[in-house]
Amino acid sequence: MPLVQINLIKGKSREYIKAVADGVHKALADAFNVPADDRFQLIHQHDADSFIYDADYFGIHRTDDLVIIQISAGNWRDIPTKEKLYAAIANNLFQAPGLRKEDVMISLIPVGKEDWSFGNGLASYVTDRSKS
C-alpha cells in the first residue's frame, strides 16, 4: 500500500491535478504491481512563496511547474524496480498533463510491513501477534 503525497504550486486545473495523480498511480501499478484499488493519494497545493526549491540542483533545470512526489512504500523492492517506477512516473506525467521530466521530483520512503495499519488499530501485515 503506497501512500502518495503530491506537492505543487497552486493554480493548476482539476484536470491537470487528476492527470498527475492518475499518472503516478498507473506507474505504481506497472512498476510495483500495486492493485488498482490500492490508491491513497494526498494532493498538497502550495502558495509560490511556500514552495521553495533550487531551480538547478544536480544540474537539472526546474520551473514553477515542478511536482514533488513523496511515496511511502514497502521496503522490499530492489533498485531496478525503483528505477522502473521513477521512469514510469516521469514518462506518464510527460504524456499527461505534459510535464517536463525535469519538473518531476520523486522521493521514496521505505516502510516495513509492521509499519502499516489500514484501520481497526491493527498492524495489518502482522500475522503473528505473539511477537508484538
Active site residues: 2
8 Å CB contact between 20 and 93: yes
C-alpha 111: how far from its chain's center?
A: 14
**How many other C-beta atoms can be found within 10 angstroms of the C-beta atom of residue 53?**
15
All 3 cell numbers of residue 40? 491513497
Question: Angle, to 10 degrees, between the axis of helix 14-32 and the axis of helix 79-95?
Answer: 150
Question: Taking Cα atoms as reference points, which of 32, 39, 45 lies closest to residue 87?
Answer: 32
C-alpha 118: how far from its chain's center?
A: 18
